[in-house]
C-alpha cells in the first residue's frame, strides 16, 4: 500500500491541464458563468452534432436529458439550438437520471446523448455529460476533438444547410422504469421496507415508481424539486435524514441518491453507513457465487480500501485497479471483458445491464440480494473489515504538480515512513473542481488523521 508515484500523479495532473473544458466527468461550472453559458452551450451543441452526424444513416438525432436545476431550461434550449442548426434532430426527455439517458440513447438508436447535470454539486452549478451511440462516456480523444472544434477560429457550419427538429419523448420515463425493473427480472420485493432519498434530483419521479411497482414498501424523501433544492442538505452527500428515517421506520435499508442518480449511498437496517467498498465486495462475491462474474475479476480504483482488495483475493476474485473516475472503471471493463466494477463513492457498474454507474439499478441488485439471502444487511456487512481512511479536500487556486512542492513531498515522505507497509498516501486533484484530495489509510485512525492534516496544511501554504 504505497503512495501514488510521482509519475502517476504527474500524469493525472497533465491530463487535467491540457483540457480546456472537460474534466473527469464532462464539463462543469457555475451556471451562467463560463463555461456554463448559453453561448458556450450553443457551440458545444454544434460541435457534438458535427462529430456525431458523420454516420452512414441519413437521419441523425441526439437525446438530451437533465436533472432538476433551474438552469437546465436555459442550457437545454441553447444546446438544442446548436444541434438543430447542424441538421440533427433533438429528442428531449426532461428530468431523468444520467444512466437513463445513456440507456435511452442506445435503445432509441440516437447518435449521442447529452445530460445537463452537475451531479452532487449545489444548484447554482451545472454540467454537460456526453454519451456515444452505445451509451458510453466519451474517450479522452473524442473529448479533445470536441474541444478543438469549440475553440476553432472557424465557425461551425452545417455542410448541407439542413435544419433539424426537436421533439419531446413522452414515454421516456416509462421506458426506463420498465427497463430498470427487468434488470432483476421483475423479482417481487414485497416484504422489504426501503427509505429512498431522491435528493430533489433527476430520479425524483422514476425511483419511487420502480421500487413501489416491485412491491417494496417505500418511504420517500426529497422528491419535490423546485429548481433550487437539488442536493440541498439531502441525498448522497447528506445521508443523515435518510439514516434517521431508516431508524424511525425500522426499514431494511436506506438509499440516498445524488443529483443525477448515477450513484447511491446506503445505510443498513441499524442506520449504519455502509462503506461503498463493502457494497462492491458483497456484490462481487455474490456474482461469483452464481457464476456470473466474468473472469473472476472486479475493477476498482486506486482509492479502494486495502480491506476490499484483501477480501476479494481471499474469495478468489482478482481486483483490477484503475485511476479514479467511473469512466476509467468502465473503459477497463470494456477493454478486458469484465462485467463488474465500481468506486467506493457509490458508483457501482453492472455492465450486463448498464453502460455507466446507476444508483437505482445498483440498489435494485442489493434489494434482490437481500431477498435471496434472507438476511439483514447488517449481518452481511459484519464479515467485512476495512482499514481506516482519512480524506481531506483542500481548495486550491491552481493545480500545480505535487512533485514541484518540496514541503508537500516532505510531509508525504514523513507519513510513508510512519506507515511503512501498513498504510498508504494518495494525492490527487479533483477533475471537476479546484480541489486537492489528500487520502491517508492505515491501522491507526488517530495517526492517519494527523498525517493527513500535516500534508493538507502544506498544500494550503503552497496553493490555498
Catalytic residues: 119
Q: Extract the C-alpha cell encoding 111.
A: 447518435
**CA gap 439, 9 in Å, rounded:** 13
Alpha-carbon distances, residue 13 vs 17, 63, 116, 262, 330 (angstroms) = 6, 32, 26, 25, 21
For the chain, the first-to-last Cα distance in angstroms comes to 28
Residue 235 contacts residue 229 (beta carbons within 8 Å): no
Residue 296 contacts residue 289 (beta carbons within 8 Å): no
Spatial strand order in the sheet of 297-301: 318-322, 297-301, 340-342, 348-350
Residue 156 contacts residue 57 (beta carbons within 8 Å): no
CA angle 58, 63, 66 (to 5 degrees): 165
Q: How are beta strands 61-66 and 89-95 bridged, if at all?
A: parallel
* Helical H segments across 290-433, by residue range: 306-314, 326-336, 359-373, 377-381, 406-419
Q: Write the DSSP symbol of residue 137.
A: B
**CA gap 461, 464 in Å, rounded:** 6
**CA gap 358, 355 in Å, rounded:** 9
Alpha-carbon distances, residue 255 vs 244, 252, 364, 366, 390 (angstroms) = 12, 10, 10, 10, 23
Amino acid at each position: 500500500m504505497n503512495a501514488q508515484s510521482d509519475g502517476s500523479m504527474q500524469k493525472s495532473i497533465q491530463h487535467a491541464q491540457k483540457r480546456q473544458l472537460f474534466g473527469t466527468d464532462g464539463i462543469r461550472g457555475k451556471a451562467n458563468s463560463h463555461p456554463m453559458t448559453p453561448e458556450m452551450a450553443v457551440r458545444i451543441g454544434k460541435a457534438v452534432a458535427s462529430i456525431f452526424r458523420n454516420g452512414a444513416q441519413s437521419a441523425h438525432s441526439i437525446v438530451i436529458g437533465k436533472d432538476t436545476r433551474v438552469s437546465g431550461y436555459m442550457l437545454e434550449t441553447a444546446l438544442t439550438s446548436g444541434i438543430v442548426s447542424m441538421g440533427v434532430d433533438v429528442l428531449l426527455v426532461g428530468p431523468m437520471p444520467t444512466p437513463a439517458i445513456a440507456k435511452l440513447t442506445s435503445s432509441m438508436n440516437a447518435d449521442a446523448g447529452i445530460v445537463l447535470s452537475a451531479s452532487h454539486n449545489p444548484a447554482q452549478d451545472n454540467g454537460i455529460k456526453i454519451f456515444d451511440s452505445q451509451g458510453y462516456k466519451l474517450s479522452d480523444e473524442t473529448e479533445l476533438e470536441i474541444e478543438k472544434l469549440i475553440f476553432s477560429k472557424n465557425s461551425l457550419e452545417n455542410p448541407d444547410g439542413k435544419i433539424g427538429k426537436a421533439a419531446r419523448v413522452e414515454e421516456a420515463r416509462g421506458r426506463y422504469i420498465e427497463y430498470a425493473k427487468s434488470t432483476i427480472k421483475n423479482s417481487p420485493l414485497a416484504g422489504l421496507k426501503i427509505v429512498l432519498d431522491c435528493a430533489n434530483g433527476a430520479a425524483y419521479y422514476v425511483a419511487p415508481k420502480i421500487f413501489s411497482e416491485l412491491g417494496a414498501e417505500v418511504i420517500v424523501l426529497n422528491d419535490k424539486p423546485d429548481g433550487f433544492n437539488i442536493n440541498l442538505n439531502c441525498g448522497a452527500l447528506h445521508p443523515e435524514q435518510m439514516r434517521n428515517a431508516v431508524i424511525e421506520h425500522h426499514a431494511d435499508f436506506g438509499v440516498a441518491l445524488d443529483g443525477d442518480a448515477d450513484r447511491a449511498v446506503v445505510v443498513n437496517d441499524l442506520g449504519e453507513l455502509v462503506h461503498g467498498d463493502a457494497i462492491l465486495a458483497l456484490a462481487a462475491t455474490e456474482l461469483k457465487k452464481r457464476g456470473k462474474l466474468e473472469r473472476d475479476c472486479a475493477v476498482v480504483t486506486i482509492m479502494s480500501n486495502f480491506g476490499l482488495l484483501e477480501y476479494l483475493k481471499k474469495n478468489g476474485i482478482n481486483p483490477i485497479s484503475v485511476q479514479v473516475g467511473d469512466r476509467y472503471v468502465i473503459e477497463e471493463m470494456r477493454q478486458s471483458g469484465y462485467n463488474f466494477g465500481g468506486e467506493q463513492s457509490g458508483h457501482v457498474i453492472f455492465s450486463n445491464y448498464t453502460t455507466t454507474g446507476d444508483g437505482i439499478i445498483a440498489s435494485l441488485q442489493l434489494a434482490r440480494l437481500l431477498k435471496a439471502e434472507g438476511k439483514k444487511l447488517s449481518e452481511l456487512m459484519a464479515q467485512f473489515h476495512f482499514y481506516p481512511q482519512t480524506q481531506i479536500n483542500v481548495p486550491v487556486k491552481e493545480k500545480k504538480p505535487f512533485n514541484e512542492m518540496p514541503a508537500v513531498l516532505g510531509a508525504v515522505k514523513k507519513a510513508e515512513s510512519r506507515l511503512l507497509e501498513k498504510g498508504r498516501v494518495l494525492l490527487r486533484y479533483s477533475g471537476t473542481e479546484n480541489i486537492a484530495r489528500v487520502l491517508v489509510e492505515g491501522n491507526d485512525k488517530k495517526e492517519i488523521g494527523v498525517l493527513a492534516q500535516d500534508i493538507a496544511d502544506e498544500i494550503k501554504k503552497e496553493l490555498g
